[in-house]
């Protein structure tokens, strides 16, 4: 059992559809339990700058269906310093916050882990990122919505690709993880996905081109995971390669960008966020700390921060096979 009476809640890093549903769930579950809730605005940056306000059940009314995050978000450089984290801790104490709930991706949960360790604080993480790249959970908040948004776009691009007999390279987000690319490619009936996890990318591309020629396909869709920080990879890179090797092909590129992060969360993301939010409060009540709440085989699980952040979440080889088999 815990001595908690007041929690702080923040969203951090890239926003993801469903974050509002998670904020609502955490807030209402805490209040249901008799605790106070302090909303921290703009992530760790707001904790450092004292942007903290009380949240009530009404503060989160009419938010479950909204994309983005009502608490705003940021990527805080200052929180990466000891001085920044000290300021954040002092503000937490001044507001009487006993425990912190962080909704965010890899970097945000890594920040929570360091903070929790340094100041001996109970912290609970909720996986909030469209990338689905956190170990120990089958899905992250926002992933399902982003996947459906991508599908909507790819279906539309296919109309024009077919009309013009073109090859389209469509770039999707996912930073270091190919979940969005691989699964959107399967669901959209694309010819190939180029993902960071698959070492056979270049061969795969050549095979796809040859196969297309053999079968005289008129148009093709290739989904490509976004380019890396050093500028390598990405849809432009592969489109240029194809144009050089096959000058007769009519090649186009479409980079979906940040539209993938917005929009109304799907039913799946709203339910996931609601379940994770309630489970986060249950975890604190049970005296758990420094864990991420996740979902595995439709059951709530608690994953230690160091596992969630540091362990790789591999792409299932079966998914790679499904796409290969179905794109003949």
User: What amino acid positions are annotated as catalytic residues?
Assistant: 131
DSSP per-residue letters across 37-79:
EEEETTHHHHHHTT-EEEE-TGGGTT-TT--S-TT-----SGG
Residue 172 CB, shortest distance to ligand F6P, in Å, is 8
Within residues 233-292, the interface with ligand F6P by CB under 6 A covers: 261
Compare residues 129 and 148 and give the one whose CB is closer to ligand F6P. 129
Q: Does 130 bind ligand F6P (CB under 6 A)?
A: yes
Give the whole-angstrom CA distance, residue 191 versus residue 206. Answer: 12
Compare residues 214 and 258 and give the one whose CB is closer to ligand F6P. 258
Within residues 12-31, the interface with ligand F6P by CB under 6 A covers: 14
DSSP per-residue letters across 212-268:
HHHTT-S-EEEEEEPPPTTS-SHHHHHHHHHHHH-TTS-EEEEE-GGGGG-SPPPHH
Q: Which of 67, 84, 105, 125 binds ligand F6P (CB under 6 A)?
A: 105
Mapped onto helix, strand or coil, the DSSP state of residue 127 is strand
Q: Where are the beta strands (DSSP E) in 56-161?
A: 99-104, 123-127
Q: Does 136 bind ligand F6P (CB under 6 A)?
A: no
| 85 close to 42: Cβ distance less than 8 angstroms | no
How long, in residues, is the chain? 328
| 6 close to 31: Cβ distance less than 8 angstroms | no
| 125 close to 137: Cβ distance less than 8 angstroms | no
Q: From 40-48, 64-72, 173-181, 290-298, give the range in contact with ligand F6P by CB under 6 A.
A: 173-181
Residue 68 CB, shortest distance to ligand F6P, in Å, is 12
Compare residues 226 and 269 and give the one whose CB is closer to ligand F6P. 226
Contact map string, positions 201 to 230, toward ligand F6P, x by CB under 6 A: -------------------------x----
| Interface with ligand F6P: number of residues (CB under 6 A) | 10
Q: Does 125 bind ligand F6P (CB under 6 A)?
A: no
Within residues 62-101, the interface with ligand F6P by CB under 6 A covers: none
Q: Does 129 bind ligand F6P (CB under 6 A)?
A: yes
Residue 142 CB, shortest distance to ligand F6P, in Å, is 9
The sign of the dihedral angle between the CA atoms of 83, 88, 89, 91 is: positive
Give the whole-angstrom CA distance, residue 172 versus residue 223. Answer: 7
What is the contact surface with ligand F6P in residues (CB under 6 A)?
Answer: 14, 105, 129-131, 173-175, 226, 261
């Amino acid at each position: 059992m815990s001595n908690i009476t007041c929690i702080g809640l923040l969203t951090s890093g890239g926003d993801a559809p469903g974050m509002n549903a998670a904020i609502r769930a955490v807030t209402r579950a805490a209040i249901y339990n008799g605790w106070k809730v302090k909303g921290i605005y703009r992530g760790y940056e707001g904790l450092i700058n004292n942007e903290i306000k009380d949240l009530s059940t009404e503060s989160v009314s009419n938010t479950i269906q909204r994309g983005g995050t009502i608490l705003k978000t940021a990527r805080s450089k200052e929180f990466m310093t000891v001085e920044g984290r000290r300021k954040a801790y002092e503000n937490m104490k001044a507001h009487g916050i006993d425990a912190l709930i962080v909704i965010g991706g890899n970097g945000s949960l890594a920040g929570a882990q360091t903070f929790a360790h340094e100041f001996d604080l109970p912290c609970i993480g909720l996986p909030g990122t469209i990338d689905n790249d956190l170990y120990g959970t089958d899905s992250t908040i926002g992933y399902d919505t982003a996947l459906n948004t991508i599908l909507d776009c790819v279906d539309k691009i296919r109309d024009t690709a077919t009309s013009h007999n073109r090859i389209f390279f469509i770039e999707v987000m996912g930073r270091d993880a190919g979940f969005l690319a691989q699964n959107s490619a399967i669901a959209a009936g694309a010819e190939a996905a180029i993902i960071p996890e698959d070492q056979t990318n270049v061969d795969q591309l050549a095979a796809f081109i040859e196969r297309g020629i053999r079968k005289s396909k008129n148009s093709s869709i290739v989904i490509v995971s976004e380019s890396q920080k050093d500028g390598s990879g990405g849809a432009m890179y592969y489109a240029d390669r194809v144009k050089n090797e096959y000058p007769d092909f009519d090649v186009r590129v479409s980079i979906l960008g940040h539209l993938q992060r917005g929009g109304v969360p799907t039913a799946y993301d709203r339910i996931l966020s609601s379940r994770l939010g309630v489970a986060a409060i249950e975890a604190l009540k049970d005296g758990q700390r420094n864990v991420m709440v996740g979902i595995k085989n439709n059951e709530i699980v608690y994953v230690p921060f160091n596992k969630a952040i540091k362990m790789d979440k591999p792409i299932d080889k079966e998914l790679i096979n499904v796409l290969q088999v179905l794109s003949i």
